[in-house]
Amino acid sequence: MLSGVTELVMTKSDVLDAFDEIEACVAYGIDGKETKELPFQLNGLAINPVLKKFQGWSSKTADSKTYSELPKEMKEFLIFVEEYLGVPVKFVSNGPGRDQILEK
């Protein structure tokens, strides 16, 4: 919120197409305690990511011309991103072309 971000654009989403499972870091385990804040000084700390797993979509999204054509699993992941960050994903880029920016 410090930067005033009101909408997100998810770029390079097509690189996730090949994964059977996708993991997102939602917190950090630091010296036995869980936190969402990563400390500035990392020296000597035992830090482990806390991961949330998502089912991958294992299908080519580059051919999708509209948001509704994207795989259900990808949409579920995008909903998580929106809820976790508290900011809506407005556009999803599913390839390098200018015509591969889908509006949600």
State the DSSP H helix or E strand holding residue 102, giving kind and residue range, or none if neither.
strand 101-103
- State the number of CA atoms in the 13 A half-sphere of 95 facing the CB: 13
Q: What is the pTM of this model?
A: 0.86
The helix/strand count (H/E) of the chain reads as 1, 6
Examine the pLDDT at 45 and tell me if it is beyond 70.
Answer: yes
Burial class (CB in 10 A: 0-12, 13-18, 19+), 22: middle
CA dihedral 93, 87, 5, 29 (to 10 degrees): -100
pLDDT at 29: 94
* Cβ atoms of 36 and 25 closer than 8 Å: no
47 vs 18: CA distance, rounded Å: 28
Residues 68-93, mean pLDDT to the nearest whole number: 95
CATH of 1-20+58-104, one of 3.90.170.10, 1.20.59.10, 3.90.180.10, 3.30.43.10: 3.90.170.10
Examine the pLDDT at 2 and tell me if it is beyond 80.
Answer: no
- Reported as a pLDDT band with limits 50, 70 and 90, residue 77 is very high
Task: Count the Cβ atoms, other than its own, within 10 Å of residue 56.
Answer: 17
- Reported as a pLDDT band with limits 50, 70 and 90, residue 1 is low
In the chain, domain spans: 1-20+58-104, 22-55
